[in-house]
Homo-oligomer: A and B are copies of this chain.
Amino acid sequence: MQGGEFSISTSKKMEFIDITERISDAIGAAGSTARSGICYIYNPHTTAGLTINEGADPTVRDDIVAVLKQVIPMDYPYKHLEGNSPAHIMASLMGSSVTVFVEEGRLRLGTWQKIYFCEFDGPRSRKVLWRMV
């Protein structure tokens, strides 16, 4: 099993950041360029998530963020007093990990797919963990 972690800096309250190349590079740097297997990407934060969605048109991720903001109420009488309950809810809706296939060292994504880190309570410094079996 190979793996590692890397840091990313988010710059907005809510944004999706394309980490596809970071994952590809990490797999390559770990000497897995000729290997096939399964790669797990894991987000260790509770106000962020991971998802796979379209990368060609950046307005798709803007739309996803905008609708999540509209669907999850911002002015609800939340009990959690830090004020970031919507971010926690969105984190669970997106999920804490994604699984992708690797073929001969390359991520086997669909034509339009990119892997996104979903920031819901930024800006912050965040970590992403990965393992490959």
Contacts and interface: CB of A to CB of B under 8 A. Distances in A.
A9 interface: no
By size class, the interface of chain A is 35 or more
A22 interface: no
B93 A80 contact: no
Contacts of A95: 51, 95
Interface of A: 1, 3, 36-38, 40, 42-46, 51-54, 57, 59-60, 62-64, 66-68, 70-73, 76, 78-82, 85-86, 88-89, 91-101, 108-113, 129, 131, 133
30 contacts: A1-B36, A3-B101, A38-B133, A40-B99, A42-B101, A44-B113, A46-B54, A46-B113, A51-B92, A51-B96, A53-B92, A57-B80, A60-B80, A62-B79, A63-B78, A63-B80, A63-B85, A63-B89, A64-B92, A66-B76, A67-B76, A67-B86, A70-B76, A71-B72, A93-B93, A96-B98, A97-B98, A97-B99, A101-B131, A108-B129
